[in-house]
Amino acid sequence: MLLSCLSRQSVAQTVMIDGVPLDTSYTVYSSYMKEVKRFPFIRIASADIPAGIKAMEAIPYKTAGNRELTLSVYRPDNEAILPAVMMIHGGGWNSGSPDMQKALALGLARNGYVTFTVGYRLSPEALFPVGQAVAVIVRSDRARFINCRFLGFQDTLYTHKAGSRQYYQNCYIEGTVDFIFGSSTAWFEECEIYCKGNGYITAASTLQEHSFGYIFNRCRISGDTPSSFYLGRPWRPYARVLFMECELGDVIRPEGWNNWGNPSHEATAFYGEYRNRGAGATTEHRVGWSHQLTPVEAATITKEVVLGSDFFEAFGKERPNFKAVTSLQ
């Protein structure tokens, strides 16, 4: 469990840069308190530097505006040439602390890697960036993201390539307008989707010949403004999106779905829901062209069916052995 690698350095900071407060509320401790409710066996791992590890911390590598950007290096205390892992923290604005990376970096160093934790901030900073802010573009097939955070604004996660199959488990994804979008087939399992401002969660562009687009299974949907978000709108006519057994917060608008100003999309797009719960799950005022799945229909939709049995067979064969790292206590 990745969260077992969290360090004890967990104090939020109040920092001002050009009059804008940095958001350092996402800390090791706050993450632990959130996830321990679901995974009571996890513990906060020590970030103390063990014997045999050389640490070079807070090394300035660039000046940006009125502050320095820094990186830290952790490696076995020897002169060997070793493989390196670079972990970059940050982006257009601050969310969380780079200390989140330290325990994992030390675990990798104990297993023979040179690890770099890099603080990266664009300048000037702002509470939110303006316009599109793509965090990740995914074009590969059989892509897997587990315990990852995707932070952006409009267009956060671009599932770019038609025919690409993607799997997201226990991930955090936030954004505003169309912040999960594209033509790939993607399964989201127990992810947290956070809606900022107002907009649309999905903008799928599923190809007509594909049976599935996005499936959200047992995910949690929340946001900062009630009744401000649609579950999706079709970027292309044959968009396909399902929300199954999800917790939909009051951020979801009663009508649920939007046709992107084109009534013809209502005959081609497939937007479905099944056994969702929460303030935003009421279907009484949903648009008439959306679908409520029956138990028989829902039973046929599994991640193996959607992504293909070879997707998960390959996962078992190709998964790297990080047992020594992820078992840190």
Contact between 281 and 248 under an 8 Å Cβ cutoff? The reply is yes
- Is the separation of the CB atoms in 118 and 87 below 8 Å? yes
For residue 122, give the nearest of 152, 160, 86 by alpha carbon.
152
pLDDT value at residue 284: 95
> What pTM does this model have?
0.65
Is the pLDDT assigned to residue 2 strictly greater than 50? no
Question: What is the CB neighbour count within 10 angstroms for residue 279?
Answer: 13
Q: What is the pLDDT of residue 97?
A: 57
- Exposed, middle or buried: residue 130 (CB in 10 Å: 0-12, 13-18, 19+)? exposed
CA distances from 99 to 35, 90, 263 (A): 18, 12, 49
Residue 13: predicted pLDDT: 41
Q: According to DSSP H, which parts of the chain are helical?
A: 28-35, 102-110, 295-299, 303-307, 309-318, 323-326
High-pLDDT (> 70) share of the chain, %:
78
User: Which residue bears the tokens 């076995």?
Assistant: 76
Closest CA to 90 of 107, 109, 71: 71
User: pLDDT tens, 75-128?
Assistant: 999 999 999 988 776 544 444 456 678 888 999 999 999 998 887 654 444 444
pLDDT tens digits for range 282-312: 999 999 999 999 999 999 999 999 999 899 8
What 3-state class would DSSP assign to 3?
helix
Check pLDDT > 70 for residue 274.
yes
- Sequence letter at residue 114: V
pLDDT (0 to 100) of residue 19: 56
Q: How far apart (Å, rounded) are the C-alpha atoms in residues 189 and 216?
A: 6
Residues acting as catalytic residues: 155, 178
Give the per-residue pLDDT at 326.
Answer: 35
Q: Nearest-CA neighbor of 110 among 270, 328, 304?
A: 328
Query: How confident is the model at residue 312, as a pLDDT?
Result: 85
- Cβ atoms of residues 202 and 182 within 8 Å: no
At residue 278, the pLDDT reads: 97
Please say whether the beta carbons of 303 and 167 come within 8 A.
yes
Q: How wide is the angle at C-alpha 34 spanned by C-alphas 158 and 216, nearest 5°?
A: 35
255 has pLDDT over 80: yes
Please give the residue that has the higher pLDDT: either 16 or 210: 210
Long-range contacts of 25-28 (CB under 8 A, 24+ apart): 25/96, 26/95, 26/96, 26/97, 26/100, 27/96, 27/97, 27/99, 27/100, 28/97, 28/99, 28/100
In DSSP notation, 170-196 reads S-EEEEEEEEEEESSEEEEES-EEEEE
> Which structural domains are found in the chain, ordered by start?
2-126 (no CATH), 136-313 (2.160.20.10)
Mean pLDDT, rounded, of the chain: 83
CA within 13 Å, CB half, 12: 14
Please give the angle made by the CA atoms of 302, 306 and 308, to the nearest 5 degrees: 105
pLDDT mean over 272-281: 98
Structure tokens at 115: 């690890």
**Interval 201-249: pLDDT, tens:** 999 999 999 999 999 999 999 999 999 999 999 999 999 999 999 999 9
pLDDT at 120: 62
pLDDT at position 144 is: 92
| Token pair of 30 as six digits | 């706050």
